[in-house]
């Protein structure tokens, strides 16, 4: 049998590059790039994307042989749909050629820089949102303007090049799951700029736009089995393919330098004045229950989200979370119905075609918990409401980062603070002491929350049940 050919790009006309996107991961290729490809197909414009990997050459090595074309595979319960996406014009690996990245970001033709760099990519304190000036990459980038390591370093040094060249700035559009991601990005960018050059900071403050966004599409990591299944279905090899659910929602604050942006609104994105209510809804209703299912589901022995919600006890837990602890803290965004939104979330989680690993969602919990669970906790405590489900989710994270599962097997805990978390867990004595020690980690728990007796007691009781009865029995006993 002849070997299957590699995916080849069509001979469609190539637009100029108008967007530099930092973070070429699966979510960007399942979400941002398809929206932009559709917007160009509908309304034209030079919105070709140059994407940049800040670390690894892996995705570059998969995309370049295909001339940056790839397949987005939509996995619905009833079957798969395949779309070849051709919005990426080129890809760079920043450590190989930082100058080329800075040149591209400083090019007047580039109007937007966007990011999917995960929560940890902003080099901020998750509990306070402040830039970590002592972060090794930030410290490096403040004295290496020609070869940054961090996204923030690239953004500020590129803006400085535009300022010095008399070129208008780009719009800085974050697309990560962070609360008020526009203002947060503005805060860390200005924090870096002020440490570098006061005049630059003043220029950025006056001229750069940081539109907030809410992004939503469940996109599990691509496996070799996914690549092989695509080859079997389509007859070509595509090592850069991505798998995603049918649902997508993009809410964008319509605030761009000179109004320059693709016609995303023409292909389903919502351009609004204020994204905050949509962000809160999504971060708390989706990501909050996602993380709760991830930690407790993993400990209960479930590999994926769909397997976890096949257990009625876990469905009971997240329904109780939505009804009693999450939606009471979420103002209903314009045009949304929160109860319908949560019911739709459960259907999305139950999609058997989406193999979204609990282990993948469990990553980087120290960067995720504040906006996914702890803000919700704080709002409930302030309103005098109990938080049994949220406390169980936090306790599940604490048990998970202990690094040993309920069968005694090691858990590969991926987190920027993993060493410190594990050391804190191991060096503290009995379960009550472990909870207190972990609550004292200020990058995750703001002191006033860590010292709240209602919260501390609820997390301790949940943690003790997890340690004594295990996750499955604890969730089954939840009411
Ligand atoms: C997930 C998110 O991995 C995770 O932390 O909770 O990636 C989630 O799938 C997306 O936010 C859905 O839009």
**pLDDT tens digits for range 455-468:** 999 999 999 999 99
CA distance 63 to 50: 12
Residue identifier of the C-alpha nearest atom 6 of ligand 1: 287
Q: What's the CA-to-centroid distance between 390 and ligand 1, angstroms? A: 18
Q: Look at the alpha carbons of 407, 291, 376, 446 in this order and tell me if their dihedral is positive or negative.
A: positive
Q: Look up the domain containing 288 and give its range.
A: 276-476
Same-domain pairing of 408 and 364: yes
Residue to substitute in 118, 282, 290 for testing ligand 1 pocket (most ligand atoms within 8 angstroms of CB): 290
Same-domain pairing of 132 and 214: yes
Helices (H), 45-116: 58-63, 98-106
Nearest to 354 by CA among 290, 280, 300, 413: 290
Please report the pLDDT score of residue 4 as a whole number: 95
Residue identifier of the C-alpha nearest atom 9 of ligand 1: 218
Element (H, E) at 466: helix 453-469
Same-domain pairing of 126 and 167: yes
The total domain count for the chain is 2
* CA of 356, closest atom in ligand 1: 9
Let me know if residue 328 belongs to a domain.
yes
Please report the pLDDT score of residue 3 as a whole number: 86
Let me know if residue 310 belongs to a domain.
yes
Cβ 290 under 6 angstroms from ligand 1: yes
pLDDT (tens digit, 9 = 90+) per residue, 224-277? 999 999 999 999 999 999 999 999 999 999 999 999 999 999 999 999 999 999
CATH number at residue 47: 3.40.50.720
Dmax over CA atoms of the chain, in Å, equals: 68
Q: What's the CA-to-centroid distance between 218 and ligand 1, angstroms? A: 6
CATH number at residue 433: 1.10.1040.10
Q: What's the CA-to-centroid distance between 286 and ligand 1, angstroms? A: 8
Same-domain pairing of 185 and 38: yes
CA distance 246 to 80: 9
* CA of 220, closest atom in ligand 1: 9
Cβ 217 under 6 angstroms from ligand 1: yes
Cβ 177 under 6 angstroms from ligand 1: yes
Let me know if residue 3 belongs to a domain.
no
Token pair recorded at residue 272:
């609004």
Please report the pLDDT score of residue 127 as a whole number: 80
Let me know if residue 4 belongs to a domain.
no
Contact in structure between 467 and 456 (CB atoms under 8 Å): no
Element (H, E) at 81: strand 79-85
Let me know if residue 11 belongs to a domain.
no
Residue identifier of the C-alpha nearest atom 3 of ligand 1: 361
Q: What's the CA-to-centroid distance between 282 and ligand 1, angstroms? A: 10
Weakly modelled stretches of the chain, pLDDT under 70: 1-2
Residue identifier of the C-alpha nearest atom 8 of ligand 1: 218
Cβ 287 under 6 angstroms from ligand 1: yes
* CA of 290, closest atom in ligand 1: 6
Among 222, 245, 272, identify where a domain stops.
Answer: 272
Contact in structure between 183 and 153 (CB atoms under 8 Å): no
Q: How far, CA to CA in Å, does 98 sit from each of 229, 348, 442?
A: 36, 40, 34
Same-domain pairing of 280 and 252: no
Among 272, 302, 327, identify where a domain stops.
Answer: 272
Let me know if residue 228 belongs to a domain.
yes
* CA of 215, closest atom in ligand 1: 13
Coil, strand or helix: which one is 80?
A: strand
Same-domain pairing of 266 and 311: no
Please report the pLDDT score of residue 1 as a whole number: 62
Among 212, 238, 272, identify where a domain stops.
Answer: 272
Same-domain pairing of 357 and 261: no
* CA of 216, closest atom in ligand 1: 13
Same-domain pairing of 281 and 255: no
Same-domain pairing of 217 and 301: no
Beta strands in 157-273 (DSSP E): 171-174, 213-216, 242-244, 249-253, 270-272
Same-domain pairing of 211 and 112: yes
* CA of 219, closest atom in ligand 1: 9
Cβ 289 under 6 angstroms from ligand 1: no
Same-domain pairing of 263 and 352: no
Let me know if residue 231 belongs to a domain.
yes
Let me know if residue 10 belongs to a domain.
no
Same-domain pairing of 173 and 303: no
Cβ 360 under 6 angstroms from ligand 1: yes
């Amino acid at each position: 049998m002849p070997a299957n050919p590699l995916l080849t790009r069509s001979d469609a006309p190539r637009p100029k590059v108008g967007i530099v996107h930092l973070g070429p991961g699966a979510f960007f290729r399942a979400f941002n790039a398809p929206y932009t490809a559709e917007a160009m197909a509908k309304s034209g414009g030079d919105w070709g994307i140059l994407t940049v990997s800040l670390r690894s050459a892996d995705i570059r090595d998969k995309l370049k042989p295909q001339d940056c074309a790839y397949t987005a595979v939509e996995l619905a319960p009833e079957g798969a749909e395949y779309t070849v996406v051709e919005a990426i014009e080129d890809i760079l690996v920043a450590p190989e050629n930082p100058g080329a990245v800075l040149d591209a970001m400083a090019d007047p033709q580039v109007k937007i820089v966007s990011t999917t760099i995960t929560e940890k990519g902003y080099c901020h304190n998750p509990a306070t949102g402040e830039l970590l000036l002592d972060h090794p990459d930030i410290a490096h980038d403040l004295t290496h303007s020609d070869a940054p390591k961090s996204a923030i370093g690239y953004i500020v040094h590129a803006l400085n090049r535009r300022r010095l060249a008399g070129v208008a700035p780009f719009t800085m559009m974050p697309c990560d799951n962070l609360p008020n991601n526009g203002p947060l990005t503005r805060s860390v960018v200005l924090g870096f700029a002020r440490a570098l050059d006061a005049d630059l900071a003043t220029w950025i403050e006056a001229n750069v736009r940081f539109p907030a966004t809410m992004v939503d599409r469940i996109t599990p990591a691509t496996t070799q089995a996914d690549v092989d299944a695509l080859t079997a279905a389509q007859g070509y090899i595509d090592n850069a393919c991505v798998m995603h659910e049918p649902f997508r929602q993009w809410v964008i604050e319509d605030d761009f330098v000179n109004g320059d942006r693709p016609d995303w609104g023409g292909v389903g994105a919502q351009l609004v004045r204020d994204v905050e209510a949509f962000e809160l809804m999504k971060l708390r209703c989706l990501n909050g229950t996602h993380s709760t299912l991830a930690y407790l589901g993993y400990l209960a022995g479930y590999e994926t989200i769909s397997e976890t919600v096949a257990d009625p006890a876990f469905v009971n837990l997240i329904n109780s979370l939505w009804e009693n602890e999450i939606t009471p803290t979420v103002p209903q965004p314009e045009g949304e119905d929160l109860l319908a939104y949560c019911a739709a979330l459960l259907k999305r989680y139950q999609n058997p075609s989406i193999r979204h690993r609990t282990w993948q969602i469990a990553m980087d919990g120290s960067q995720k918990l504040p906006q996914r669970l702890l803000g919700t906790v704080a709002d409930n405590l302030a309103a005098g409401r109990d938080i049994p489900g949220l406390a169980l989710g936090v306790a599940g994270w604490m048990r998970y980062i202990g690094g040993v599962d309920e069968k005694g097997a090691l858990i590969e805990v991926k987190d920027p603070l993993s060493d410190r978390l594990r050391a804190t867990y191991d060096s503290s004595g009995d379960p009550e002491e472990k909870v207190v020690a972990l609550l004292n980690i200020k990058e995750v728990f703001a002191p006033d929350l860590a010292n709240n007796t209602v919260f501390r007691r609820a997390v301790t009781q949940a943690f003790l049940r997890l340690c004594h009865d295990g996750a499955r029995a604890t969730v089954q006993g939840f009411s």
